[in-house]
Amino acid sequence: FSISAYNKVWADAQEALDVLLQRERENKSLKPEQDHVTTFKTLATYYIKYVQIFRDLETAYDQIVHPQKRPVIRQVLEGVMGRILELKNDMVTLENSEYHYFDDILQDLQLLPIVTLILCCVHSLLAVLLKKPVKSMAFEEAIKTIQVAERARQGRLRATFMKQLYLEEKRERQAKLQGKMSPNPDDAATCIQKIWRGYIQRKKTEKIREEEMIFLGMCPPPHFQTTSTSLLHAREVNTLQDEVQERHEEEYQKALVYVKDSLKELEGLDIKETLQDQIRQHFIEACYFHAANNLIKAACYPFFLPPEAVGETNGFCNFSPLFSFFSITAIWKNRDERWNFPQEHDPELIKEEKREEVEEEIRVQVDKLMRQELKNLRLVVDKEESNEQKKGKKSEKLGAASRENKVKLSSSLPRCTGISSQVVHKKAPLVKAMLLAGPTGVGKKMLVHAICTETGANLFNLSASNIAGKYLGKNGLQMMLHMVFKVAKQLQPSVLWIGDTEKTFYKKVPKAEEEMDPKRLKEILPKYLEVLKAEDRVLLVGTTRRPFDADLRPFCKVYQKIILIPRPDYASRFVLWKHIILQNGGIFTKTLNISCLAKLSDGFTQGHILQAVQTVLSKRRILQMTKKPLTAVEFMTALARQDPVYKEEEETFKAWYTETPLGKARIKALAGSEEAGKGKAKGKKKEGSKDKKKK
């Protein structure tokens, strides 16, 4: 793709977004739909279309290297991300469920299911938007780290060497004992021939079978799994592109400072004089067209008007102000960039942007000077009025003075709002706490760490086992939570994690855990959550494998959003086996049937699969793979040593979830829809019987 191609992707995405927003505004003006199915279909259609636009904008943001275009795309991206979150929240409220099915809608739109998979791309974008700069390590600390790693490596090598010596000595001792009874040479030769001929025949059979499978198209050719030169070239291009983006951004930031300083030196005095002349001229006009007592208000109105009073953006969602089309339509769409083939920053645009900032800064200085000048003018006007009204009554003077004292000068500095993901967090539906519930091994703790890694958040562990014996007493607990929430706000984004959170809300504490006092946070935690505001990027995440042990009412009061993570289905297990085996150094061959593994591992979780793969793929087994390929039996043997998620446990989780607020609302909604369906059926039967009687 060329520069113009990605510019076109950006322009097309903006145009599609404009059409979609216009359609939403028109639908908002219509009467709300009463039909549940129609409403969900509308929301889901918008959701899928926003995801498509998000993918196009993300591609443009990732590939465009121009440092002034990327912030504009990023702003619209944040708006689209926020709108996706709003639509997701609306669908959850409508369906009373965290899970939705778009099969019919995708079929109507002639789209593939992969269109709705945005988790990976959202995470990658958040990692770009929120990633903190890596701090450089001190030279002494680096030397110490290298020394520790090197000594550990030497220790491991020595241990391996000593183990090999021990095994060699053991083999020599066994050989000496077996040497007393030497086997018959003819029998030995026969055994060797038998093994060799069997090996040769198996190899021939495997080769014939592999050629047949390739011919039938059921297996890829041998060169299929090798990395293509095109893919290697694409990786090199992406690396170079990242370097160009960083270099252009660095040059752009330096240019911002340089251009601003140059404008202050060259145009600062002219701007200052122009502003003073404008305000003085307005003072003079105000003297002619307004009464003296209203002079200050009339003179200051156009110049010191607060930015909030200028106008508001009328929109149908919280993210309407982020959908700015001016930048691409008026600046970039028809801009001639033939001179800027490297896509470096545009100095003229920087001057236009920084000239406004310089004017605002100088306006503040002029504001102070003109206030004093206005006071002097006001004294002159008051003196003239007092001379004319000497014959007036004293009460009239006092009344005029009191009215003047009520007039106040007001000035508001323009607020510069930075572009960051905090905009999305502040305007999206507020979620202060979230609960991840599910059997052991479904990836609850991994999701917590993934959230922290992808968003650059700091993790605070408030698990009952971690705070046991610390900050004892009520005052100590209050001090601990006060410090944790204060530091979390200062270092936001932050995640407060409570592992095995059902212990904090135990119905009855087991005797073995009474000394740990796991319910310390039960009463005080909700009070600190209430203090969190929309602008605080702090999230409480609880994980539990036994939610039914907790007292449900306070449990659901703390955790607004509850996500039940089930064990993986066949398709998920197929992808998991393939991904985890490759991740741990495994190689796929014809002897390894992934489909068989996915089918036989029904009932096992992601953690079980990971543990089985790590057990099989030891260092020694990885070295043997070239001569002894992996088989499904090896992994199933390791998997069979673990306990699966039995049906009784899964039913217990489902029964617990139906008692949560969202579960109850869903059951109530389903019951209402069933009753409505029965009512319609009865009505049709009655109409049919009446028609028969008439006949």
Look up residue 148 and give its two tokens.
């520790």
What tens digit of pLDDT does each residue of 427-439 get?
777 888 999 999 9
Structure tokens at 483: 């410090």
pLDDT value, residue 122: 46
Q: What is the pLDDT of residues 442-501, one digit of tens each?
A: 888 988 888 888 888 888 999 888 888 888 888 888 888 888 888 888 888 889 999 998
User: Tens digits of per-residue pLDDT, 414-429?
Assistant: 332 234 356 676 677 7
Q: What is the mean pLDDT of residues 173-186?
A: 71
Q: What share of the chain has pLDDT > 70, as a percent?
A: 78
Per-residue model confidence (pLDDT) at position 106: 86
Judged against a pLDDT cut of 70, whether residue 681 lies above it is answered with no
Contacts of 38-43 with C-beta under 8 Å, sequence gap 24+, read: 39/94, 40/91, 40/94, 40/95, 41/105, 43/87, 43/90, 43/91, 43/94
List Cβ neighbours of 568 (8 Å cut-off, separation of 6 or more): 442, 576, 605, 606
User: What's the confidence (pLDDT) of residue 323?
Assistant: 59
CA distances from 401 to 382, 386, 389, 692 (A): 10, 11, 13, 91
Q: Is the pLDDT of residue 532 over 80?
A: yes
pLDDT digits over 219-277, tens only? Answer: 777 776 677 788 888 888 888 888 998 999 899 899 989 988 888 888 888 888 888 87
Q: Is the pLDDT of residue 403 over 60?
A: no
Please tell me the predicted confidence (pLDDT) of residue 543.
93
The pLDDT of residue 549 is 87
Evaluate the CA torsion angle 127, 128, 131, 133 in order and state its sign. positive
- Token pair belonging to 332: 């970039």
Burial letters 227-255, b for 16+ CB under 10 A, else e: eeeeeeeeeeeeeeeeeebeebbeebeeb
Strand order in the sheet with 494-499: 458-461, 494-499, 538-544, 433-437, 561-564
Whether the pLDDT of residue 388 is over 70: the answer is no
The whole-chain average pLDDT of the chain stands at: 78
Say whether 431 sits in a helix, a strand or coil: coil
Q: What is the pLDDT of residue 128?
A: 42
First and final C-alpha spacing in the chain: 73
- Could you report the per-residue pLDDT of 615-640, keeping only the tens digit for each? 999 988 888 888 888 999 999 999 99
Round to whole Å and give the CA distance between 104 and 4: 36
Contacts of 595 (CB under 8 A, 6+ apart): 574
Summarize pLDDT for 26-70 with one digit per residue, the tens: 877 555 556 788 888 889 999 999 999 999 998 889 888 888 888
- pLDDT surpassing 50 at residue 301: no
Does 288 score more than 50 pLDDT?
A: no
pTM value? Answer: 0.60
**Least confident range of 1-15, 270-284, 427-441:** 270-284
Is residue 310 over pLDDT 80? no
How many alpha carbons fall within 13 Å on the CB side of residue 350? 20
Average pLDDT of the residues in 16-23:
89
Does residue 198 surpass a pLDDT of 90? yes
